[in-house]
Chains A and B, each alone.
Chain A
Amino acid sequence: MKKISLSNISKLYEVISREYDLYAPIKKAGKVNFAKWTDGEEVVFNAQTVRSPKDMFFPQTMDLYSLKMQGKTVEVIDDRSETAPFVVFGVKPCDCKSFEVLDRVFLAEPVDTYYQNRREAGIIVGLGCSAPSESCMCASFGVDNTEPVADVKSYIVDGEMYLDAITDKGEKLLSLIAGLLVDADSTKVDEQKAKTKEINKKLPLQNLDMTRFTADNLNEIFNEEEWEGLSEACLACGTCTYVCPTCQCYDIRDFKTNDGVKRFRCWDSCMYSDFTKMSAGQPRNTQMQRFRQRFMHKLVYFPANNDGMYSCVGCGRCATKCPISMNIAKVIKKLGGKHND
């Protein structure tokens, strides 16, 4: 394990950014989001980013290809460019886990090469949690918030950042900044981990009962009357899906430019009325059905197809951002199992 003093950390950013594009949780216009680091930006580690780091691999909009019309000819242009290697700093353990969920979707056959391209180019520096919040549910979804699964794991204790490479990519990154790091033992980090685990025990949503969410109960849960009540105030906005680190639905759309067409893909939200709308009509006509789709997907359909892995990492963004404060915790408490109060 290596360490560096936080007072020295901007030097570390500087060295990395000479070699890679560096992304970090940066505070701009009052809110913290992952953004490209340039000298003078304010990096904030103790707040949750509004947008999740899924943007790094699966951006909100992405050009696929374009068509250019000239007279009677149509030229097809591949808008893809090789992604330059980049580094994402300060990714919390829950968000690290979300990449695993996204990989299941995009790296399964047929592989999404746009995603793969970025995934291979990205080096993730995870950051262990030291002060989880009441909206954190990571433990309920099997995430250990003291062990970020990433290329490099890091911890911040007493004004110092501890770093430890896990993968080869991580080793490579640490060797780049080796001159700035000093050797350290893990005593302080272990103390912090133990402390965090104690805090987890006091958090109300870290031990949700999800035993009922199995493929066998699919029909029973699907037909629950509770869905009506849970979804009645839903505004049908896309906040929960757009701040979610694991929501991966997208739409492919065309934009008519002045001399052709740009085909791009952008995030879609199951909360929107035209979600998966087809020429034959709309598979989900009411907001209740759309609301139900979101949670059934995360808690029942996805695990049934992915060895029990939930498509939720318990980051709690939906819980803090929903305009009407309806969220996955409330759904789990209503439908998850007997042991939720």
Chain B
Amino acid sequence: MQVSDIKKKASEMLLSGEVKRVIGWKKGEFDYDLTPATFESVEELEDFVYDGFCGANLSKYLIKESKKEGKTLVFMKPCDTYSFNQLLKEHRIVRDNVYVVAIDCEGKLDIDKIKSKGIKGILSVKEDGDEVIIDTIYGESKVVKGEVMLEKCLTCKSKEHVAYDESMAQGVENVSLDRFSEVAKLEAMTADERYEFWRGELSKCIRCNACRNVCPACSCVKCVFDNDASGVSAKSNANEFEESMFHIIRAFHVAGRCTDCGECSRVCPQHIPLHLINRKFIKDINTLYGEYQAGADVDSRGPLTNYTTDDLDPSDIFGGNK
């Protein structure tokens, strides 16, 4: 699968009139600052890119785009299709107005990880197999790809698409780490250590709402935190309580619907490992109510909109409680 093939597909479909617009990634000022964009003509497709910096999940844009007139062609990586399915399940996307083309993903790069290695003045970033070659005004650097991949890609859940109209994917081998190992590490700590860990992380939060606004599961028309009538609306964290509350409530609201796409952690300007909050819910759901992957299908009931009569009581789960 070549980028030129993807572009060719896009221009063919635009020219034939089958689709009115294409959603993809648009080239930026540098190699790494791509922006999700819609392309409506073959000329505009000049700026279409698909490379290691296309980490952005495009599925949420379909809420808006699929309500426009005419079909929208969208290129999706495997993890994006989970979010897409979940949005379909929640009736947020008009399926008939979308044409999904599945494309391969070999794991995306994290520019912040590259920069945190002290690499500055970046002129270009090129992938070469397992290596990433970065040319800077201060000289060339080479890093191992595994060290600068997005957190979500290191623990990739699947290289298989779960929804598409047409596939251009040839399949990629998935070599990823166990996504629950970090959660387990935290669980193994004492309560005091966990408290310290989360205080350290959450105290960085600037309440920019990037995690919420990028999240495909956060598609409420009006969020409780924006609604003045809710009593909890806020534009900043006034204190530690609000820091914790915002993230607990947000994660709870997407529990059972979060596909673990990892966008929250990717966009956090302070690199708070927000995925560890979501994954804790996923891990608990898996152990208590059976394996469940949100977005794997479009018709199953989510774990929090379902129950069995022999579910455990909280007091059974937390032995020390009684």
Chain A residues in the interface with B (C-beta under 8 A): 28-31, 33, 46, 50-51, 60-61, 131-134, 199, 202-205, 229, 232-233, 235-239, 241-243, 251, 253, 255-256, 264, 266-269, 272-274, 319-321, 323-327, 329-330, 333
Contact = CB atoms under 8 A, between A and B. Distances in A.
Contact of A269 (B203, B235, B269): B235
B29 A333 contact: yes
B29 A268 contact: no
B42 interface: no
Contact of A324 (B36, B120, B121, B209): B36
B56 A203 contact: no
Contacts of B269: 50, 239, 242-243, 321
B29 A267 contact: no
A267 B236 CA distance: 7
Contact of B37 (A51, A233, A256): A233
A43 B32 CA distance: 28
Interface in B26-71: 28-30, 32-38, 56, 61
B238 A272 contact: no
Interface in B222-247: 226, 228, 231, 234-238
Interface string B265-294: 011011110000000000000000000000
Given A60-B206, A131-B138, A325-B28, 15 more contacts: A28-B200, A29-B203, A50-B206, A131-B121, A134-B121, A134-B122, A233-B61, A253-B235, A264-B238, A266-B235, A272-B235, A320-B112, A323-B266, A325-B35, A330-B35
Contacts of A229: 37
Most B Cβ at <10 Å: residue of A321, A327, A329 = A321
B8 to A, nearest CB: 23
B206 A329 contact: no
Contacts of A205: 29
Given A233-B61, A325-B33, A239 B210 contact: yes
A237 B209 contact: yes
Given A60-B236, A243-B269, A319-B33, A28 B204 contact: yes
10 contacts: A28-B203, A30-B116, A199-B121, A199-B137, A233-B61, A238-B207, A238-B210, A323-B213, A329-B29, A330-B28
Given A134-B123, A203-B121, A323 B236 contact: no
Contacts of B209: 237-238, 272
A46 B118 contact: yes
Given A133-B120, A269-B235, A333-B29, A237 B214 contact: yes
Given A134-B121, A202-B137, A232-B38, A31 B204 contact: yes
Given A50-B269, A205-B29, A266-B236, A235 B201 contact: no
Given A204-B29, A232-B38, A329-B29, A134 B137 contact: yes
A235 B35 contact: no
A192 to B, nearest CB: 14
B270 A31 contact: yes
Most B Cβ at <10 Å: residue of A29, A61, A321 = A29
B249 interface: no
Most B Cβ at <10 Å: residue of A203, A235, A251, A269 = A235
A58 to B, nearest CB: 12
B236 A236 contact: no
Contact of A29 (B200, B207, B234, B238): B200
A269 B228 CA distance: 16
Nearest to A29: B200
Contacts of A202: 121, 137
B208 interface: yes
A235 B269 CA distance: 14
Interface string B1-38: 00000000000000000000000000011101111111
